[in-house]
């Protein structure tokens, strides 16, 4: 069934804030190994959906299942992160006064991590993992530079790398292309497609050029529900989607 094959399964999820329904009977299925783009106008409920998945917001009703089994609505944020759901927020929060490498090491080591020359104490597999992550985010050659010296786009990639270091089963990525140059935006799509070869990913994004570059299935949210789902070409040809975006 759909549920058995799903990595993430939302069914009938409703969230109200003072009687206002930010999510209204939202249902969404993300398969194992899938990358999905979530789009929709401001206020559609995209952030609230991410908050529900990560346990930051508890729904009034509905099911949120991970691996078809774990009921995320009964778990707190720490327990959900522990299950392997990692979230990257829109604004990068790297440690600017530490090197690119130390940022990744800290993410890998978690709270036990202590800065500076920690790399030397890591095991072989841990080092391999870090090299792999640095390669994926294309910052291998900048590993010894301070994170603060990176461009905005590179900081976003570093933060994605910090998530990857923890090898989550599902990455939630919030507007990765926000504030990027066109070149960085294009490179970010390549980077996420590479990550999607080995990870499941949910990307919330406004930039349609970027969503097109991702080339994945798109879910359009509107007023807290799914309005349309399909390829970007399919959903952009949908009259209801056009109406919502152009206000006709």
- What are the residues binding ligand ADP (CB under 6 A)? 17, 22, 40, 42-48
| CB closer to ligand ADP out of 15 and 100 | 15
* CA distances for 161 relative to 176, 220, 246, angstroms: 13, 27, 36
| CB closer to ligand ADP out of 48 and 136 | 48
| CB closer to ligand ADP out of 24 and 166 | 24
Return the structure tokens found at 115. 């800065």
Radius of gyration (C-alpha) of the chain in whole angstroms: 18
As measured in angstroms, the least distance from the Cβ of 44 to ligand ADP is 4
DSSP reduced 3-state for 19 = coil
The answer to whether 219 and 213 are in contact (CB under 8 A) is no
Vertex 19: Cα angle to 18 and 23 (nearest 5): 105
As measured in angstroms, the least distance from the Cβ of 186 to ligand ADP is 24
Return the structure tokens found at 112. 């036990």
As measured in angstroms, the least distance from the Cβ of 45 to ligand ADP is 4
As measured in angstroms, the least distance from the Cβ of 18 to ligand ADP is 6
The answer to whether 174 and 50 are in contact (CB under 8 A) is yes
* CA distances for 30 relative to 36, 71, 218, angstroms: 7, 15, 11
| CB closer to ligand ADP out of 90 and 126 | 90
As measured in angstroms, the least distance from the Cβ of 194 to ligand ADP is 26
| CB closer to ligand ADP out of 4 and 246 | 246
């Amino acid at each position: 069934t759909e549920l058995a094959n799903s990595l993430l399964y939302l069914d009938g999820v409703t969230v109200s804030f003072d009687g206002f329904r930010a999510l209204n009977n939202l249902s969404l299925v993300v398969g194992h190994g899938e990358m999905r783009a979530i789009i929709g106008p401001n206020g559609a409920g995209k952030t609230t959906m991410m908050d529900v998945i990560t346990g930051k917001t508890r729904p009034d009703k509905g099911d949120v299942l991970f691996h078809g089994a774990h009921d995320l609505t009964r778990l707190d944020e720490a327990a959900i992160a522990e299950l392997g759901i990692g979230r990257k927020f829109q604004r990068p929060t790297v440690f600017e006064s530490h090197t690119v490498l130390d940022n990744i090491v800290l993410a890998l080591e978690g709270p036990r991590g202590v800065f500076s020359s920690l790399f030397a104490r890591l095991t072989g597999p841990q080092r391999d993992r870090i090299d792999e992550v640095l390669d994926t985010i294309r910052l291998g050659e900048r590993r010894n530079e301070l994170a603060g010296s990176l461009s905005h786009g590179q900081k976003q990639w570093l933060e994605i790398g910090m998530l990857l270091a923890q090898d989550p089963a599902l990455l939630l990525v919030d507007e990765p292309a926000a504030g990027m140059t066109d070149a960085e935006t294009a490179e970010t799509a390549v980077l996420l497609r590479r990550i999607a070869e080995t990870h499941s990913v949910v990307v919330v994004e406004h930039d349609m050029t970027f969503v097109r570059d991702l080339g994945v299935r798109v879910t359009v949210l509107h007023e807290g529900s799914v309005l349309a789902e399909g390829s970007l070409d399919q959903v952009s040809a949908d009259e209801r989607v056009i109406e919502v975006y152009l206000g006709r």
